[in-house]
Every structure is written in C-alpha cells, then in structure tokens.
Amino acid sequence: MTYPTTESAAADSARASLEALRTEIGKAVVGQDSAVTGLVVALLCRGHVLLEGVPGVAKTLLVRALAAALELDTKRVQFTPDLMPSDVTGSLVYDARTAEFSFQNGPVFTNLLLADEINRTPPKTQSSLLEAMEERQVTVDGTPRPLPEPFLVAATMNPLEYEGTYPLPEAQLDRFLLKLTVPLPSRADEIGVLTRHAAGFNPRDLHAAGIRPVAGPAQLDAAREAVAKVSVSPEIAGYVVDICRATRESPSLTLGVSPRGATALLATARAWAWLTGRDYVTPDDVKALALPTLRHRVQLRPEAEMEGVTADAVITAILSHVPVPR
C-alpha cells in the first residue's frame, strides 16, 4: 500500500481550495463558469486577464468576487480619459517637514489590481501598466520598486465599437495571458440573477452574500509548484508550435501568434491539465485553452473584418486543420 507524500497532499489540498474558489465566486456570479475557470488558470500561471463584454454582464463583480474569495490584498482603479500614469503607479511627493521627496505607492502596489474599463483611458495611461505587468516592478525617478507577490491585473474592457474607447496597443495586449469574453447570460441564468436580487442579493456587499476566503498565498504556491511538474511530451510541444505557426501563415491575419504566445498556450494547457487531475498535457488541454490564450494575439486583415471574420473563427479553423498528435 502506498501513502501520499506531503508534497502530493499539499497539491491535492491546493486543488481542492481552488475548486472551492470557483464555488465561492458562483455565489455572486451566475452563468460565467468559463470566465471563472480562466481567472483560476491565470492565477496558476502568474498571468494577467482581460475580460471583454458589454456593460452590465458582471465583469467587475466577477473580479471583486475573486478578490473576496482570496486572502489577498486588492485595489480597484476606474480608468477614465483624464487618468494620469502617476495615478496608477504612484509618484514622488514633497514633504515640507523633511524638505525631501518621498515615493507614495499607487494602487498598482497590491496583489490583485482591478483595472476597470481599461480601454476608456488614452494609450499613455494604459502603457503605465506595461512594466508592472511584465517586470512586476515600477520604476519612478530611475528607482525600480518591486510589486507584491502574487501580482495579477484583471482588466475589464468594453468592445471597441462602444463610444469613448481606445484600442489597447499590441504590446500591452500581448502581456495579458488570457482574454476572456463575458457573454450575455442565457434566459435561465438571467432569471437566476433576477431571483437572487429579488431575494435581497446586494452586489456591493459580497460578505452578506456568503463569500468567504477559501484560498490564499500558501495554496497558490503549492498549486504553482504542482503545475510546474506537469509533463509535456515532445509531440505536445510540437502541436503547440504548429498551431502558432499556422496563425502566421493564415491569409486572414496580418499578425500571427508570437513565440511568447506559444509559451503562454503551453502554460495555460499545463494549468488546465493539473486542474482536471492529470500530471501530463493532452491535445484536448491545448484546444481547451487555445481561444482565450490566442484570440488577442492575432490581428485580422481589414478585408477579413469587412467579411465578418473573427479571430475566434480563424483560430477554430486552424485547430481543425492542424494534425493532432496521437
């Protein structure tokens, strides 16, 4: 008879905590299971998430519920056209008592930053997050200042056709691990939302909704260590590369997936494999995470857009044509 090691027991406990995390978020958000799963995958991969959807589909509530179910520090920034970079990163403040400048931390110095409606602010302010997202530090007046660990940016975004929005630069889009679409709920889910509100649910008081912290830094560290040990066969690595190379050759795209996108797809597939209880990656894991990991890393040709082609449709077609390893 074999007994589980302390290491495997910690990993199993961490997986159970993350499953409970999804349940806790479900107490506040109805019918967005794929978005909840995407946020959990991002936490495991130390990645950032972009949530896109029309106003009123609970994008902000989803992130707030995630923060409430985690024992992590969180801050929220409402991105507006007049927001300045220093409003996000912090700035040097003159202290008249000491006659010296001291650095005052901005809201980016937190574990979970909710960047609400990130595409409502001009590119200059959007770019203030680039160093924070990639290097996990902020440099002000030549001095780098490290951010807390873990650090995750969860940004909400309205579709670009809505008035008063600015497109995110490609360099910033590429720094988001996942782009999750938050669709309108089904009729049954919408009835569930109304039923909850009729019963007294207040989206501004998540504590009253019964959401409690079920995971924290210790569980995240154990889960990340376990994900790092998920094995990847040469055939699976080749499959990921073939998918990404096919986007670069697609006649519908002017920009395909970069090698950074390929490493992102491999990372998210490993996290998904571990969440489903396996220590190895299958082609189905890659397919399951291909759309949210790659859709924001490609750029459609204008003529393809005019014909109604979408990035999701191009990636789905590529997945159906690239040979699957056996």
Q: What pLDDT sits at residue 318?
A: 96
- The string of pLDDT tens digits covering residues 126-135 is 888 888 888 8
**3 has pLDDT over 60:** no
Return the closest-CA partner of residue 128 out of 120, 138, 136. 138
Between the CA of residue 314 and those of 160, 162, 256, 291, what are the distances in Å? 20, 24, 11, 10
Q: Which residue has the tokens 């349940």?
A: 23
Render 88-107 in DSSP notation, one character per residue: HHEEEEEETTTTEEEEEE-T
Q: For residues 66 and 45, give the distance between their C-alpha atoms in angstroms, rounded to a whole number.
A: 16
pLDDT average, residue stretch 19-37: 84
Q: For residues 105 and 138, give the distance between their C-alpha atoms in angstroms, rounded to a whole number.
A: 10
What are the b/e assignments for 287-326, b being 16+ CB within 10 Å? bbbbbbbbbbbbbbeeebeeeebebeebbeebbeebeeee
- Record the pTM: 0.87
The structural domains of the chain, ordered by start, are: 1-201 (3.40.50.300), 230-325 (1.10.8.80)
- The string of pLDDT tens digits covering residues 221-247 is 889 999 999 999 999 999 999 999 999
Q: For residues 32 and 220, give the distance between their C-alpha atoms in angstroms, rounded to a whole number.
A: 22
Q: Which residue has the tokens 């007994």?
A: 3
Reading the block at residue 270, the tokens are: 């490993």
